[in-house]
Amino acid sequence: MSPSATTNGTTNGLNAVNGHAARLEFKTFHNVINNELTKTSKTRHNLNPATDQPNAEVPVSTHDDVDKAVSAAKAAFKTWSKEPVEKRQEALSKYADAIDSYSDDFAHLLTLEQGKPLAQSYQEIDMATTWLRAFSQMALPEDVIEDTEERKVINRYTPIGVSCGLIPWNYPILLATGKIAPGVLSGNTIIVKPSPFTPYCDLKLAELAMQYFPPGVVQALSGDDSLGPWLTAHPDIDKISFTGSSVTGKRVMASAAPTLKRVTLELGGNDPAIICDDVDIEKIMPKIAILSFLCSSQICMMIKRLYVHEAIYDKFLAALVEQTKTLKVGNGLDQDVFFGPVQNNMQYAKVRDLYSEIEKRGWKPAIGGDVPDEDSSKGYFITPTIIDNPPEDSRVVQEEPFGPILPLMKWSNEDDVIARANDSKMGLGASVWSADIERATRMALQLEAGSVWVNSHFDVSPGIPFGGHKWSGIGTEWGVNGLKQWCNSQSVWLYKKV
């Protein structure tokens, strides 16, 4: 190990001269193991998706690094789990303040590694600190189930142990802090594993956490494709929280099964939005466009299927095309850009393959439709595309594209459109849009999804449980309900007389 910080509890990173925290630099990147910055013999880098040029080198962790991090987390759990909840809350609050103080650095770095426009990077950082502060105000309930002259029965929640957060590449800051906060608040220790495509911000989040949490409480490991399976199979990791695709989620679940780890999975979605014939098209259109194309549609809960009532279909489609034309495509560091690049070459190839179906299958693009260039040397940019009323069984309707291609389909019968909206293995989010709240609510309550909205989509909050139905996940995150999933339930029977 090559430490570059002391290991005396939360004084890591303090300047020896004046006692103030040394300012983080954002040019070099290390693993964080037991509040030490460590190097590895092998390194790798990812590419800036807007330029296809290499970003900085990051560690490639070995199995020995995993063992050291798990051992440190296991040792730290013995004391951290016994700390008063007020101390854990205070640490989260101070950590949020620290991230705020580095918002410019994190935003710039996030755009370089993820590709999203700078304004969206700042928005993600703001959400991350909001989540941390919200959890710093939460506490686990202790419920008295029975209290008689003979006995008292309490249901309480105890921390599980060593946890691991597997972070995706679309929202690396928010989704890392969204696992760190409930994990450490509930008394667990956590090892953060960033996506190999976006390791940079998460490594810096863990480095910053050294100043606010004791050694072993918050750690981070960067690596290649071997790292995830090592962590999910490790016998001394007790809890896995994974956000990513349904395909990978199944592998995580299978890997965790032999050691009976607690597992929370937030997986993919193919969200339907049903537009009724009484909406104010002009009023809702800017919101519809953003909720369909934010982050170049690389969000699990974006609108992926738009069902528009046939009475307003043509007018709605024309308005959406015009709204989409106003959204600029380009490098996320450029001014007024809305569509950044697709994040990585693997996803770029998947979206290219879907675009290649447009001409083959006779789909009708209302805007866009050009197959992206196979040469990605100028960045992984894809022209936003809207497909006009494709068949229900077409790939663009049935698959989650995770790229800026959106199918619009007509409907006329409520029962039929609800059946079509529910005809998916996914069930993450869904929405209904109508001026008639009773009608919209009636329809919304029939949708098979973990989050359902009326006249909105993709609203999330740290205090509200979030999870999927069907192949979109197992368990929930966030809110007190999500906080409980970082715990074991314990029933305590107290007899008042021997």
Instruction: Give the residue numbers marked as catalytic.
Output: 266, 300
Q: Which two tokens stand for residue 461?
A: 């909050």
Contact 428, 389 (CB under 8 A): no
Dihedral angle of Cα 85, 91, 97, 100, to the nearest 10 degrees: -110
Pairing mode, if any, of strands 53-54 and 47-48? Answer: antiparallel
Torsion of CA 278, 283, 284, 289, to 10 degrees: 140
Inter-axis angle of helices 118-135 and 172-185, nearest 10: 10
Query: Phi, psi at residue 91, to the nearest 5°?
Result: -60, -40
Token pair recorded at residue 385: 């595309």
Q: How big is the chain by its Cα radius of gyration, in Å?
A: 24
Q: How far is CA 452 from CA 213, 286, 309, 429, 447, in A?
A: 37, 20, 19, 6, 7
Which among 281, 308, 454 is positioned nearest to 386, based on CA atoms? Answer: 308
Are the C-beta atoms of residues 347 and 325 closer than 8 Å to each other?
no
Q: Token match 């447009």: residue?
A: 358
What amino acid is encoded at 123 in this protein? Q
Considering only CA atoms, which of 88, 97, 267, 238 is closest in space to residue 175?
267
Q: What's the gap between Cα 213 and its chain centre?
A: 23
Are the C-beta atoms of residues 428 and 397 closer than 8 Å to each other?
A: no
| Max Cα-Cα span within the chain | 80
Token couple for 94 = 């101070």
> Which phi and psi (to 5°) does residue 17 adopt?
-85, -50
- For 273, the enclosing helix (H) or strand (E) is strand 271-275
Residue 218's DSSP bridge partners are: 190
Partner residues linked to 271 by β-bridges: 303
